[in-house]
Copies of this chain bind each other. A is one copy, B any other.
C-alpha cells in the first residue's frame, strides 16, 4: 500500500461491483437491472432541451425530483432526500446516524456495501447471522443499541421480512434509527413508506435502478421523518451539495410520474419470476421464495461456482458469491421472458452434461 494513504483509507474494504462487460455478447442476469427500457415519458423529457442547459448547475435541493417522489408516496418534500443512486443515500445515512458510540448492525448475508461503508466510516459493526433458512430473526436485533440496516427484501436471498417484525424493532427504542433498504420492494411486496408517518426513527431507502428502469441514471432517495431527512441532508451538504445532475433529475421525476409503465414493468418481472422459479424447480433446483427482481437458486448437481462459470462460457452472466453459507447458490436477475427461456434451456443442457 502506498505511503500516501490515510489510516482510514487503509482500513477501507472497497466493494467489487458485479461484472459490467462493455461488449454485448452476454445475456446479462448478474446486476439486477430491468430488462425494459425507461418509460417513454423519460425519453420525452430528456428530449426537451435539458441537454442544452447543461452549462447551468442542477438544483442542489432536487425540488422537481423530490416533489415527484413525495407526490407518489403522499408525503411532504421535507420527508424526501434524493441522491446519486441509493448507494450515495445509504452512505450519507450511515454517516449521519452512525459513528463513535453509535455502531451499526446488519445481517451476515445481505447487501455487501453495508460492510464497505462501515469500514469506510470506521464503524463498530455487529454482524447478525440469518437463521438457517435465511430468514431474519428480529429478536436478534431487539437490544442492539446502534443503527440497524435491513435490506427488505433481502439481497441476495430475495426474502421478505413482515411489517409486523419491523414495527417491533421500531417500537422497542424510538431513539434508535432503523434503515430499511427497499431497493427491491416493488416486485410483489408492499413498501413500508406509510410507516414513516408513524415512526420518527424509520428511514426507507429506495432506488430507481430496478423498478423504474433507471440503473444508468443513478437516482436513489430516502423517505423518513423531517428529523432523519435533515440528518441525511446535513451529510449531503457536507459532501456533495450538487449531487444529482440535471438529466437524471428530469429522468427520475418523469419516471416517478409514470405509474402505469412502472406497474406494467414490475408486473411482467413478477410474472417472469414465477415462470423461472417453476422451471428451475422442475429441474431440481431449490429456489428461495423471492419478492425481488432476482432469484437465489441452487442445484445439488451443479455447485454455484461451477454453474456460474459454465453459464458464462455459454454467454449468460449470473452472480455467484464465493462466501460462507451461500456458496452453493447463484443469484439470477429476472430478465425478459426470452432471456429466461434461454437460461432455462442452457441450464437444462448443462444438467444433461453433468448427469446424462
Q: Which residues of A contact B (CB under 8 A)?
A: 2-9, 12-17, 20, 22, 28, 31, 33-38, 42-43, 46-47, 51-61, 63, 84-85, 87-88, 91, 95-102, 116-117, 119-121, 175, 177, 201, 209, 213-218, 227-228, 230-231, 233-248, 251
Closest to A213 in B: B55
**Other contacts beyond A38-B52, A218-B245: 5, CB < 8 A:** A9-B234, A13-B238, A47-B51, A53-B216, A91-B240
**Which of A15, A35, A230 has the most chain B CB atoms inside 10 A of its CB?**
A15
Q: List 12 A-B contacts (CB under 8 A).
A: A2-B227, A4-B96, A4-B97, A6-B100, A8-B121, A15-B237, A16-B237, A43-B52, A46-B247, A84-B240, A120-B239, A216-B246
Q: Chain B residues near A244 (CB, 8 Å)? A: 218
Copies of this chain, complex-wide, total 2
B216 touches A54 (CB 8 A): yes
Q: Chain B residues near A47 (CB, 8 Å)? A: 47, 51
Known A17-B242, A87-B240, A238-B119: A54·B31 in contact at CB below 8 Å: no
**Which of A9, A234, A236 has the most chain B CB atoms inside 10 A of its CB?**
A9
B46 touches A51 (CB 8 A): yes
